[in-house]
Structure 1
């Protein structure tokens, strides 16, 4: 091959992808894989906080639920082992969006809701249910103390 043939083959490749893209391909791929791992780790941390908050009866902030779905979609679209997408900034953007001021908020106190229901003359029975470990027994014990203290009426457990 003569030098003109080599030049004609190299020029389209370097102008199409940029010489920096080709020379930095391996480090870019490793960086992208690292960012995907960070994104998954952040998602797992947020998911753990969401699970704990849910277990405690808190309401999850809507933007957190949306972000978790967005992460799942982004990770599913993550490049195969040897591919770097043209727009590799999406992973960085989604990772940055995962910094939340709050993940959940407390619902109005269930105890206060039950106390209000006990004062309603049209309510005769209140059921309490939930998964193991969420504090149903603790809630009922506290309710019994409050009923006795405030003389709200009769409480049958």
Structure 2
């Protein structure tokens, strides 16, 4: 009951926030609410693709929830991509990513086709940020796994 896994993945920085601070705050609020809810449902392992901005914000939220003792048993699993940072990442992104990588409980290496380290079908739930007509959201839908697309919520 308490060993369910969640994947957090999505688009890159530019596509996600367009450097809009207000939009980033809304994404963070949704992540907080969703992660807390999934934790209450028995999800303990959260795998974050730090190459996606949503994965970076998700990882930051997970660490914050753990440090605040709201989710003391949460496990943060970071995906280790082939390149350390996305091409459009700035110095702040680099610093946050490096810090989060140090705080990860587990590190996973993704396959060529998979941005989360495992097939989507291996997860209980997927939290993502994709355009409704993107190829990636099509893959999430066809996986049969329940998902939350934050892109539609903000």
TM-score normalised by length of structure 1: 0.27
Structure having the higher strand fraction is: 2
Structure having the higher helix fraction is: 1
- Between structure 1 and structure 2, the one with the greater Rg is 1
TM-score normalised by length of structure 2: 0.27
